[in-house]
Chain A
Amino acid sequence: MYSREELKSKAAGAATKKAALGQDVDLAQFETADVPHEYLQEEELRSLPDAEQKRLIMSGLDLTGKERGGTYFQKDTAVVHCSSKMEGVEVIPIKKALEEYDWIRDYYWKLISVDMDKYTASAETDLHNGYVIRCLPGQKSVYPIQACLYLDKEGLQQTVHNIIIAEEDSELHIITGCATSPHVKKGAHVGISEFFVKKNAKLSFTMIHNWAEDMVVRPRSAAQVEEGGLFLNNYICMKPVRTLQMYPTTYLVGDNAVARYYSIIVGSPGSEFDIGGRIFLKKPGTRAEIVARTISNGGRIIARGHLIGEVPDIKAHLECKGLLLKGGLIHAVPELEGHCDGVEMSHEAAVGKIAQEEISYLMSRGLTEDEATSTIVRGFLNVDIPGLPPQLRAEIDRAVEMSDKDVM
């Protein structure tokens, strides 16, 4: 059953409900009123101010559009651009989808409860917009679709709801950048994302975040993967943020479904991250992997991972590695739950410093101590992500490369 009124009333009931994890944020300090921005054609995106373009490019946006199959660009509360260049891939603002398409009702708030906490509630009550990206059955997207949620207005709470659907036998790659204007200091981002990976479909979702120092970020996402499907979820955040908490959950509901999460986090002083993920393995032959690389140079990072094996013949692995470079805190919380015989689950967690032996080894090959250290840090952040298209690999490498100076 779908009723907007029912959702609204549930949301109203949870308006002050604290989240299970992360520091509590008073959302009343942020504005939610609409901020109008003019709609731009694709070529006009390239006439945006240089500083703004730079922020967008850093978040993985290709403003030439050449290497991308479609674009969704939302500035504050307004959709500035939305288009698809690929047959079989639909990119639609969610407000439009809710007004015009019945099928959206099968997906909207189906994986996440609207009354989970005050952030989900706010996403219904104060919904600005968001994107629906749908790849039709059997379609393979050659180029990734890019989505950007940009914050330009000081003190705004941007609230979005995204739905991503990879229909049967399709292949869809999405890169999404969230960023703030260079002048923005304070703001909030509340984003709901629901992912549906159908039978034998493949979906990769790569998120690169560039926030401002005083940003509050509360994404809420969940995915459902059917038989033979693959969901690849990558998260990269190398820039300071006041507080970020997320705990994406994936349900592997079909035989042989696979989910993999990779995250790369750098925590600067004053930043607080509570990140993690949970994957339910509900059918035989399902596989799950959670890999996190965190570096703290003064920030606080809690890195969670929770794998739940409910049936026999599943395999799951969790790898959480942290490097403390200049103080701060890294708290690794790996959890494994095997509910029956025949599950195969493991985890590997380590928090530490760079080994002197590795620095010396590289120095004996000619590098200075500083060069050796940054080479090791770059290696630490260089995670192999199988199944990721080369353009997206390049974006991740670039994000890591560009933050090199901030890390050291």
Chain B
Amino acid sequence: MLLIEDLQVELAGNKILKHIDLEIKPGETHILFGPNGSGKTSLVMTIMGYPQYRVTGGRILFKGVDITGLPINERAALGIGMSYQRPPTIHGLKTRQMIDICSKKEIDVEEYAEMVNFRDFLDRDVNAGFSGGEIKRSELLQLLAQDPDLMLFDEPESGVDLENITLVGETIAMLLEKDIFHSDEKTIARQKRDRTKMGLIITHTGYIMDYVAADKGQVLFNGILSCSTNPREILNCISEMGYEECVRCTLEKN
């Protein structure tokens, strides 16, 4: 379980997250909405542990451990993973080697790469000259190899062409155990109960919700979590009335 309590964060001296409370239970996936600059990326980067996001108040608990002051790699070791929107290029490091790093050499790289149609890229430098869609597939392959329990997705569908959106969506559903399949041993209800993977997905378009059944939606507006309800309802509301309505909700909430 991820539990965020009264989290306050500064970036380069500016308050960017204000008194955030958030709980993601095992098996739950949340969608994070919000206009540009509202602090969505800051929230996931803070959960991942990027040191430039300075926590000035509150705490983050994961699996019962207070991780607020832990370095990034220790959070990764506890089972937090991230799919980046714009990851850096690592020159001279092959994607194949990166997958080995993620899995600690415990998986068959070729076999996993096949799942996201990425075998042709294994011998290229990580993210070097990758298109938008290639970056997403590379990030998903890294998560598949890493197999974390809490996955943070920063705009996983941005820059992905129509052909690949299904692949990306279905892979995320699989990662988050949201893919429902017929099985003689397990009823659907049992499959749902057995889910443990947690997800937090940042999206602007909501396309990802066509593939991943999300449990909850959150709206981040100006550093404040202003809404927490059914994600479809939030998406409809934003599409019809825009984020201005969120301002009203935020005002009323405070």
Interface residues of A (CB under 8 A from B): 355, 357-358, 360-369, 372, 375-376, 378-383
Contact = CB atoms under 8 A, between A and B. Distances in A.
Contact of A363 (B73, B84, B92): B73
**Nearest 6 Cβ contacts at the A-B interface:** A379-B92, A382-B92, A363-B72, A379-B93, A363-B73, A366-B76
B77 interface: yes
Contacts of B72: 360, 363-364
Interface in B57-88: 71-73, 75-77, 81-82, 84, 87-88
Contact of B93 (A357, A360, A369, A376): A376
Interface string B205-228: 000000000000000000000000
A132 to B, nearest CB: 36
6 contacts: A360-B50, A361-B90, A363-B73, A365-B76, A365-B102, A366-B146
B101 A369 contact: no
Contacts of B76: 363-366
Contacts of A364: 48-49, 72-73, 75-76, 81-82
Given A361-B84, A361-B87, A379-B90, A366 B50 contact: no
Q: Which residue, B81, B91, B146, has most C-beta atoms of chain A within 10 A?
A: B91
Interface residues of B, number: 26
Contacts of B46: none
Given A364-B72, A365-B102, A378 B82 contact: no
B203 interface: no
Given A360-B50, A360-B72, A379-B125, A365 B90 contact: no
Nearest to A368: B73
B127 to A, nearest CB: 9
Contacts of B88: 355, 357-358, 361
Contacts of B101: 362, 365-367, 375
A158 to B, nearest CB: 34
Interface of B: 48-51, 71-73, 75-77, 81-82, 84, 87-88, 90-93, 98, 101-102, 104, 125, 142, 146
A348 to B, nearest CB: 12
B71 A358 contact: no
Given A364-B76, A375-B101, A383 B90 contact: no
A366 B106 CA distance: 14
Contacts of B125: 379
Q: Which of A366, A368, A378 has the most CB of B within 10 A?
A: A366
Given A360-B50, A361-B84, A364-B81, A369 B91 contact: no
Contact of A380 (B81, B92, B102, B142): B92
Nearest to B48: A364
Interface SS of chain B: mixed
A357 B92 CA distance: 16
Query: Which of B88, B142, B146 has most chain A Cβ within 10 Å?
Result: B88
B98 A365 contact: yes
Contacts of A360: 50-51, 72
Contact of B71 (A365, A369, A380): A369
A360 B45 CA distance: 10
Contacts of B84: 361
Contacts of A367: 73, 101
Contacts of A375: 90, 93, 101
Given A367-B73, A368-B73, A375-B101, A362 B142 contact: no
Given A364-B48, A366-B101, A379 B91 contact: yes
B71 A363 contact: yes
Given A361-B84, A366-B146, A375-B101, 7 more contacts: A358-B88, A360-B51, A367-B73, A367-B101, A379-B90, A380-B92, A382-B93
Nearest to B146: A365
B29 to A, nearest CB: 20
A378 B146 CA distance: 22
A375 B76 CA distance: 17
Contacts of A379: 90-93, 125
B92 A369 contact: no
A365 B92 contact: no
A381 B48 contact: no
Contacts of B92: 378-383
A4 B76 CA distance: 70
A30 B237 CA distance: 85
Contacts of A372: 73
A167 B230 CA distance: 76
B90 A376 contact: yes
A208 B42 CA distance: 47
Nearest to B143: A365
A364 B101 CA distance: 11
A32 to B, nearest CB: 42
A382 B104 CA distance: 21
A109 B8 CA distance: 73
B91 A380 contact: yes
Contacts of B93: 375-376, 378-379, 382
Question: Which of A365, A372, A375, A376 has the most chain B CB atoms closer than 10 A to its own CB?
Answer: A365
Contact of A362 (B75, B90, B104): B90
B73 A369 contact: yes
A71 to B, nearest CB: 32
A363 B76 CA distance: 8
